[in-house]
Amino acid sequence: MRYSLPVILFTLLSFQLHAQRNFKPGYVVTLNGDTIKGSVDHREWNQNPQVVGFKLAAVTQQYSTANIKGFGVDQFENYQRYTGPITTGAVGQSKLSSGIDSSFVTETVFLKSIAKGKNIALYSYTDNIKTRFFISENNGLPVELKRYVYRDTKRSDKITESNLFRQQLVELATKYQPGNSKLADEIQKVVYHTNEIEDAVLAIDGSGNLIKKPTLSKGTIVLFAGLSANYFKTTVAGTDDFLVESQPSESILPGVNFGVDMYFNKNAGKLIFRTEIGLSANSVHLAKTTNQTDNGNNYLRDDKLSFNQFTVTLTPQLVYNVFTRSNLKAYLAGGAQINLTSYNKFDRHVVEYLNNSLIGDNQRTDAYLVTVYTTAIFKAGVVLNNRIDVYAGYAARARLSNYNDIGQSFNVDSYRIGINYLFGKK
């Protein structure tokens, strides 16, 4: 079980990451301009998609810029085909050029619709190089809002920005808001970021609430708290200790936990970064009585160890919803668990007899066990009505002592079943 469960979970997760679909109501626009309603496979698009799955009457097809003009997920995201120049100059500090890199490629891609008004539409395109914004007037061909980041040709430690997009926006402001003398000054302070570019476009277009923008919900945060039942199995390994042959210590004790989920894209609802803090306890009792007779001499050793373990865990993990419906989700999760533990009532007591005569009585009460250690954790669960999270988990074997120091190691395998309540608006 120690190895099979992680393997099963990771196998399922790997399969589902590639195979699981997340269809939501949407549409595609054909090359002749017809709009077809159906279901779009809504993914965690951190970059603009090149291909999209579309289902109509139980038949699923893959579409790209080669066979559709655009597509959308109702009330979430819309994309339209664009053919034209796209800048390729890097903006990451480690990849900056010396002097302006104005290179570009002409490609056909899907642009993401950010806002659309009566005169102006705003789009974005993100690939593995950078995010770019495009703007179009009166349904015309989108034009990239240009920004270049580069190293000074005379001082390589100096990074310079050429924000040509501001002048592009000022020219539009002069055209559509000729009486707004303050707008040009405000545009000179705009940074190349979605919210600020969008606000500037809203002001330039002057259409206010007529702007039609998909409802985005990236980075949504959900808090949760819960209770669990924790099963601990403690064993001893080594060659220099009599307790190696003792029966494992087993305990089932309650635990509490709370944490926060951050959705990479709440609308898609697939991938979540979870940070969890938990409190748990483990009660350990190990004992072994050895009785040997050799050449008429009887040797008896009574070896006992007991302690209580209290642990605070910090667990960053990735959660992937392999199945999503409005009132039911199933997920797999994996991460690293950092354990900060303390011990009390530590008692290692060894009593030895030879021919019924006491020859040794040793007791050790200092806890010679580690207080900080890490383990891997794996979970599977379901979320009901976006509120109740029921799960089962396994934490990989943890070693509570250093075998090289004391000739033995105390190992703990732990399993958990639990229930969480998710707070906040869903």
Q: Give the N- to C-terminal CA distance of the chain in Å, as an integer.
A: 36
Q: What is the pLDDT of residue 238?
A: 74
Q: Are 349 and 407 in a shared domain?
A: yes
Mean pLDDT of 344-371: 90
Q: Are 233 and 202 in a shared domain?
A: no
* 335 beta partners: 317, 377
Q: What is the pLDDT of residue 402?
A: 64
Q: Which of these three, 214, 249, 268, is where a domain ends? A: 214
Tell me the CA distances in angstroms from 119 to 138, 164, 165, 177, one per residue in order.
Answer: 5, 21, 18, 11
Q: Residue 404: which pLDDT band, with cuts at 50, 70 and 90?
A: low
Residue 68 lies in a domain: no
Q: What is the pLDDT of residue 117?
A: 86
Q: Are 259 and 303 in a shared domain?
A: yes
Q: Are 105 and 207 in a shared domain?
A: yes
Q: Per the structure, how many domains does the chain have?
A: 2
Q: Are 249 and 105 in a shared domain?
A: no
Q: Residue 269: which pLDDT band, with cuts at 50, 70 and 90?
A: confident
Q: Are 296 and 393 in a shared domain?
A: yes
Q: What is the pLDDT of residue 12?
A: 47
* 16 membership: H or E segment, kind and range: helix 4-19
Q: Residue 106: which pLDDT band, with cuts at 50, 70 and 90?
A: very high
Q: What percent of the chain is modeled with pLDDT above 70? A: 88
Q: Residue 220: which pLDDT band, with cuts at 50, 70 and 90?
A: confident
Q: Residue 406: which pLDDT band, with cuts at 50, 70 and 90?
A: low
Closest CA to 322 of 88, 1, 14, 4: 14
11: which residues sit within 8 A by CB, 6+ positions away? none
Q: Is residue 47 predicted with pLDDT exceeding 70?
A: yes
Residue 23 lies in a domain: no
Q: Which of these three, 185, 214, 243, is where a domain ends? A: 214
Q: Are 146 and 209 in a shared domain?
A: yes
Closest CA to 270 of 330, 336, 335, 225: 330
Task: Decide: residue 304, CB within 10 A, 0-12 exposed, 13-18 middle, 19+ buried.
Answer: middle
Q: What is the pLDDT of residue 167?
A: 96
Q: Is residue 312 predicted with pLDDT exceeding 90?
A: yes
Contact 371, 339 (CB under 8 A): no
Query: Could you write out the DSSP letters of every residue in 213-234?
Result: -----TT-EEEEEEEEEEEEEE
Q: Are 315 and 391 in a shared domain?
A: yes
Residue 18 lies in a domain: no
Q: Which of these three, 192, 214, 236, is where a domain ends? A: 214
Contact 71, 40 (CB under 8 A): yes
Q: Is residue 241 predicted with pLDDT exceeding 70?
A: no
Kindly report the pTM of this predicted structure: 0.61
Q: How far apart are CA 13 and CA 320, in angstroms?
A: 8
Q: Is residue 86 predicted with pLDDT exceeding 60?
A: yes
Q: Which tens digit of pLDDT belongs to each residue from 49-76? A: 999 999 998 899 999 999 999 999 987 8
Q: Are 135 and 279 in a shared domain?
A: no
Q: Are 105 and 131 in a shared domain?
A: yes
Residue 382 lies in a domain: yes
* 256 membership: H or E segment, kind and range: strand 249-263
Query: Could you write out the DSSP letters of every residue in 68-125?
Result: EEEEEETTTEEEEEEEEEEE----SGGG--BS----EEEEEEEEEEEEE-SSEEEEEE
Residue 17 lies in a domain: no
> Which CATH number does the domain housing residue 376 bear?
2.40.160.20
337: which residues sit within 8 A by CB, 6+ positions away? 313, 314, 315, 374, 375, 376, 377, 395
Residue 98 lies in a domain: yes
Q: Are 271 and 194 in a shared domain?
A: no
Tell me the CA distances in angstroms from 357 to 242, 287, 295, 327, 351, one per residue in order.
Answer: 20, 21, 17, 70, 11
Q: What is the pLDDT of residue 243?
A: 79
Contact 343, 294 (CB under 8 A): no
Residue 206 lies in a domain: yes
Contact 158, 174 (CB under 8 A): no
Q: What is the pLDDT of residue 1?
A: 43
Residue 158 lies in a domain: yes
Provide the residue range defining the domain that includes 208.
80-214
Q: Are 226 and 357 in a shared domain?
A: yes
